[in-house]
Structure formats: C-alpha cells, structure tokens
Structure 1
Amino acid sequence: MLEVEAVSSGYGPVPVLRDVTFAVPAGTIAAVLGANGAGKTTLLRTLSGLLRPTGGRIRFDGAELRGVRVERLVRRGLAHVPEGRGVVAELTVEENLRLGGLWRRDRADARRAQDEVYELFPALARRRRHAGHQLSGGERQMLALGRALIARPRLLLLDEPSLGLAPKVTAQIMALLRRLCDDRGLTVLLVEQNVRSALSVADQGVVMSLGRVVTAAPAARLRDDAQLRHAYLGF
C-alpha cells in the first residue's frame, strides 16, 4: 500500500530525513519508533504532502505521490491525524465530524460514515452536541480519529495518538486500530512514543534514529531483540 524509497526531506536548508526506505503492506499496521528528534513527525508530514521531499520516491497503492496536492491525496484515500488532537474547539462534535466529509460528493454515504464513527466511539455519540473544548483529552483524540475515518481512508497516518492519555484510553484506541485493519483492511502508519503499546498491535516496526531508518522488521522480532530495544527504544 505504501512504498517509501530513499526519501529525504527537511525544513528549508535543514535536512531531517535522509534516504528513508521501507514499505507497508495493505491491511497492516507499521509503527514508526525512535527517540525525540528521530524524524518521525517529519516523515508523516512528508508523506501527507505538507512537506516537499528533496529526494526519493513515495508510492501509494502503486501511484507516485510526489508533487500531488494535499486535497488530491485525501481523495485518493490518504488521511493524516497530526499530533495534538487538532479538533476545532468552537465547533460541536457533530460539526467537527461533518468537516471530515465536506469534500465528499456522496452525501448519503458521508452520513453513514458519521453513524459508523458514533458506533466506534459511543462516547462521541453521547456528546455530539458538545463543543470540542468541552471534551476530555481522550474524547478529543477519538474525535480527531473519527473525523479522519469519515473520509473512508485506505491509508491512515497517525501521529502520537496516546500523548497525554490515560493507559486505559490508549489501550482502547490501539485495539480499535487493530480491529479496523483486521475487519476493514485499513492500512496504518503509526508514530508512537509508547513503544510497548505500539508493538502490541503493530505488524512491523520501523525504527528511526537521526533521520535514518535503523531497521524495519516484524514487531515480534523487535520485541525480542533486547540489544536493539535498549539502544533505540528505551526499554
């Protein structure tokens, strides 16, 4: 579903990513792991078109992504949930969800997608008339994820979904991601500081350090590799 080949990227003259290469098969979860400053968020911003790569190739379901405008990437089935649970605080839950489907021509299916989000997140259904600023941190993360799902993406880029959340809420979100992959065939690229939690649901891990990929391997192998864990993952 996603092929990243020798991609380099950064901010102006400052390079961050250097020759990053890995692939994510359809219907799987790949966890991007590493210390702060490894380039994980820059990677997601580059893949979603917010940053222009300076080298390499990015293919989504076989099609080249470099140079494609962000709105076209969304229409092709790519969704990006950035770090920070970026909901519109003044809008209600329902209004935030509608934002995720404004571009869709099939209004009936957009409404069905919204109902599906309420089924996935009953807490949002109960608080659909509440404004974003009235929600808990966990509810805001659910809303950000639900808004992305309204677009029915095939590839979801998710940046630090557990940041600031209670362990129980984190476990619920991770379990949901696994279920979406298994039941709907969603492909997920997950950036996560909670390494144990990420590897518990991921199919593979992509370990980064200083803008480069150290290794890309099955999640089970990373969990069992004590030397790699101590050197790059902190446990």
Structure 2
Amino acid sequence: MITSKPIARWGWAREEEPADPIDACARAQMFLLGSLREKKMAVGESRLNFSVMERGSSNSSLFDEHFPIDLAGDLDAQRHRITEEVRGRLRPGMVGMIDTSMYCAGYRMTPMGAKLDDQMFYLGAIVASGYVAVYLQTYSDAWLSHDLRGRKQDDIYALNHQRLTDVLNSVALEMGDETDPDGPTYYAIPTATGADVHLEADGTVSDMWQEGHFIEE
C-alpha cells in the first residue's frame, strides 16, 4: 500500500563546515539517492528541488528551482551540472541554509515479481551553519511485518525489509552518524533498522485502513 502521508522517517547529521556548501548538499543528496537506486528503490525520472536561502533571513531566497533527474543516468555528472547551474544563477547575497529534496518511485519486491510504487520515498539534504544532514521518509508499507490493514505479509516483509535496512546502514556509515528514527506516525513506529507496526491493547496489529490516507493498494 502507498499512503499520501509518511509512514516512517529517518535522519542523519554530522558536524561539518564545508568549503563548498552547495556541492556538499548535492553530494549528500546524491549519495542517499544512489543508495536507494542500488536496491532498485529509486528508479525512473524525478525532479530535484534545490533551494538556497540568504544568510540571516528566513524568507529571502537566493535560488529556488527544480531540476530533472534521470535515475538511470550518471548521478555524479548530474550533480556537477546542477551545482554549476546553481552557482551561476545565484542571486546576490550571503549563502545561508541550502536544502534539496525530491520524491522517487521504487520497486516493491513480491513473490510474483517487482511492483512499481510511484511514490515510495521522499528524501532530502540540508547544509546549514556547522552541519550537514540528510533525511528519508517512506510512503510504502513494504517494510512492515503487516500491511496497513493489519494483515500479515511474511513474503513481502522477507523480500523488502532487509533492502531498507541496508540503505539505512549505508547512509549511517557515510554520514558517520547512527540512524535516528523519527517519532511514531499514524501508520508505524520508525526504528533504526526499519519500522514496526502499531499494536492494539490486546496485542493485535492495528488496522490503519479505515482512517488512513491512501493512494493505492
């Protein structure tokens, strides 16, 4: 199932004052994207939002545009092209917080083969004074032991959970930071290795279907 609201979110951050913050943000974004692509959890085409704020101002933007991303192409070459264009088109001012973000489709593995989830993840990177951070949120229940109707899905879980865990571990290693799961959502409880389902008082798995917001089953 794919929801219109996040099922789970994870984040990582490290202390850093990069000499080239625009490139640092793009590199962090592309590493996370590449980690997903390696597991076929980022495929097709997407659009990357690239925002550069003016230092000392919360509502003054030096740059805010979208770039097409070909997930079958060379991510490093695309990063270089994008950062060059951003630098060349920055409005005058001191560079402050930089933010990149995008949605991506990905494959859910099933016993009958791969199924495309159109909005599997939303991911982003942030560079601000003294730190670099990345985050990942999912709209798919492929990583849960039960689907969002409370039905056990052993085969789906076995085929997909470790894929997500591998991505989380890869990003943690790259960032030099432990995976930081966000707080519980309506749908699930994020953990350092994936996400757990909600349980009722009697121990049964909650059925989140009735009040949830779903795009597709």
State the TM-score, normalizing by the size of structure 1: 0.28
Which structure's residues are more often strand, by fraction? 2
Q: Answer with 1 or 2: which has the greater Rg.
A: 2
Which structure's residues are more often helix, by fraction? 1
State the TM-score, normalizing by the size of structure 2: 0.29
